Amino acid sequence: MSAGDDFIRAVVRADLAAGRHDEVVTRFPPEPNGYLHIGHAKSICLNFGVPQEFGGRCHMRFDDTNPTKEEHEFIEAILEDVRWLGFDWGSHLYFASDHFERLYEWAEHLIQAGDAYVDDLSAEEIRAHRGTLTEPGRDSPYRTRPAAESLDLFRRMRAGEFPEGARVLRAKIDMASGNINMRDPVIYRILHAAHPRTGEDWCIYPTYDFAHGQSDAIEGVTHSLCTLEFEDHRPLYDWLIEHLPVPMVPRQYEFSRLNLSHTVLSKRRLTQMVEEGRVDGWDDPRMPTLRGLRRRGVPPEAIRDFVGLLAISKTSDNLVEQAMLDHAVRERLNKTAPRRFGVLRPLKLTIENYPEGEGEWVDALNNPEDPDAGTRQVRFGRTLYVEADDFMEDPPKKFFRLTPGREARLRYGYLVTCQEAVKDSSGAVIELRCTYDPETRGGQAPDGRKVRGALHWVSAQDSVEAEVRLYDSLFATPLPGADGGALWDDLNPASRTVLTGCRLEAGLAGAAPGETVQFERQGYFCPDPVSTPDAPVFNRTVGLRDSWARAQKRAASKS
């Protein structure tokens, strides 16, 4: 199935063709109790993408029905992240709390119609009455209480006469239903808690189930797209819409959540990770949050590309390889990221026959993938730095880099020959003494002699020292915690490697966060927000090896 051809788009296409709606209205409904992650991106791209394709709009809606866990900080961050991802809700920003008064009226409507009752059972008793998957529930003794009595009690609940937990309002549906969500679900509870938006106005709050579908109906949402765990809530969603004087009938459709390997996408887990200091914060570049990905240098386009590769389906057990996200990031950056030289583990290289105190500028391509990207000039001179592992004293046969007596190419610079490796007292190589062939400027030999490979380098004079942080997956196992052990046991102890004393092309010192570049042969890197021109700090976004594309190719050649 190609993108754009999933079952949700098929439903929308059919609804429009049949004239059931003139336009598509969707909503993205986060609960403001944490930061957005890559799983949310799937929902955002779908909810905003469908109306973009078919005509219509997507609302930004906060499901703020639980005042005890929600904060302004999260609301602002979520809006910023959705905008960063490239989507715009125009004037359609809503909060479930905007609808509290109407929801309250509708609750009274249900009571008056005999479709809801105030229950005095405790939370524990309600649970005990609920039954199990195999046994029906039992009616609460308050189920048959007269509507007038329930109405009076409900109004007094609102007036603040009762303590938390004393009473709840329940929809009167069917305690014997095979669907536990239909066994007289709680629709209002007492919470003596101030709300970030309505302050002290309320001490009773609707549950998610009572707020969600009704908010959809109030806002005119035609297609309410949510993840599969709400499939069992759909009968309740429809029951409420049917029993209330709503202005229109929205429909709920469920699709599978994104599960990503080697990380966790549960807000509860991510919150725990931040609170327990297992990462540096919500925007730690190892986090699967949009802020983490942004800080790591992932462009929003790459996230949209990645979501475009995902199936929108009802298959619940889909675990997507982290490598596929990396693949999408790499593909995008390959087209856009300027190439630069950055030496992560520098080894000094001295060209003994290059005049002391002199230097020259050589031209280097900004992006071989993009002819319009042009060239820049890089300083060449007598003292350079190369990558330590580009030298081997006693190399295997196919080593086309630096080794005593063999010619190697410094890309865009010259062909050089290593004459001697200088060692310290412990035997570690600390400097390469080389000679260069002045006839090979640009890295090409005029006589056409063959030199394989091309190494990156920087000059000692025109490079800056930097800190570079390399990242690996947050968890060492594809499904953290799956073996029944503690989740934290699966954390990858090598998820971050900090390298100091790296040497980068001088022009990189002033780069700003978001300006992701490719360090040739090393991967994609971007400045961290703490970076300054005097003390540059770079994050590695992804390396160059595309294990996902490789595996795809292998699989394709087998079939």
**H-helix or E-strand spanning residue 72:** helix 72-85
The one catalytic residue among 13, 31, 102, 521:
31
Place of tokens 């035609």: 222
DSSP-derived pairing of the beta strands 463-471 and 496-505: antiparallel
Whose Cβ is closer to ligand ATP: residue 83's or residue 156's?
83
What residues make contact with ligand ATP under the rule CB under 6 A?
29-31, 39-40, 42-43, 226-227, 257-258, 265-267
Q: How far is the CB of 31 from ligand ATP (least distance, A)?
A: 4
The one catalytic residue among 189, 267, 296, 496:
267
CA separation for the pair 306, 217 (Å, rounded)? 32
Q: How many residues bind Mg ion (CB under 5 A)?
A: 1
Give me the numbers of helices (H) and strands (E) for the chain, helices first please: 13, 26
Q: What are phi and psi of 491, to 5 degrees?
A: -60, 145
CA separation for the pair 535, 465 (Å, rounded)? 7
Q: How far is the CB of 62 from ligand ATP (least distance, A)?
A: 9
Q: How far is the CB of 317 from ligand ATP (least distance, A)?
A: 13
Q: How far is the CB of 43 from Mg ion (least distance, A)?
A: 10
Q: What are phi and psi of 386, to 5 degrees?
A: -125, 170
Whose Cβ is closer to Mg ion: residue 226's or residue 509's?
226
Three-state DSSP at 363 gives strand
Q: Catalytic annotation on 267? A: yes
Choose among Mg ion, ligand ATP, none what residue 265 binds, the Cβ cut-off being 5 to 8 Å by kind: ligand ATP
The one catalytic residue among 257, 433, 441, 521:
257
Q: Catalytic annotation on 393? A: no
Q: How far is the CB of 201 from Mg ion (least distance, A)?
A: 24
DSSP 178-238: SSGGGSS-EEEEE----BTTTBTS-SEEE-HHHHHHHHHHHHT-SEEEEEGGGGGGHHHHH
**H-helix or E-strand spanning residue 466:** strand 463-471
Q: How far is the CB of 289 from ligand ATP (least distance, A)?
A: 11
Binding mask 22-51 for Mg ion (x = CB under 5 A): ---------x--------------------
Whose Cβ is closer to ligand ATP: residue 267's or residue 295's?
267
Choose among Mg ion, ligand ATP, none what residue 40 binds, the Cβ cut-off being 5 to 8 Å by kind: ligand ATP
Choose among Mg ion, ligand ATP, none what residue 250 binds, the Cβ cut-off being 5 to 8 Å by kind: none
Q: Catalytic annotation on 42? A: no
Whose Cβ is closer to ligand ATP: residue 52's or residue 227's?
227
Whose Cβ is closer to ligand ATP: residue 42's or residue 332's?
42
Nearest to 95 by CA among 219, 238, 236, 266: 219
Three-state DSSP at 258 gives coil
Whose Cβ is closer to ligand ATP: residue 265's or residue 551's?
265
Q: What is the dihedral of CA 305, 307, 311, 312, to 10 degrees?
A: -130
The residue of the chain with the least Cβ separation from ligand ATP equals: 39
Choose among Mg ion, ligand ATP, none what residue 285 binds, the Cβ cut-off being 5 to 8 Å by kind: none
Q: Work out whether the CA dihedral 342, 348, 353, 354 comes out positive or negative.
A: positive
Q: Which residues are known catalytic residues?
A: 31, 257, 267
Give the residues lining the site for Mg ion (CB under 5 A): 31
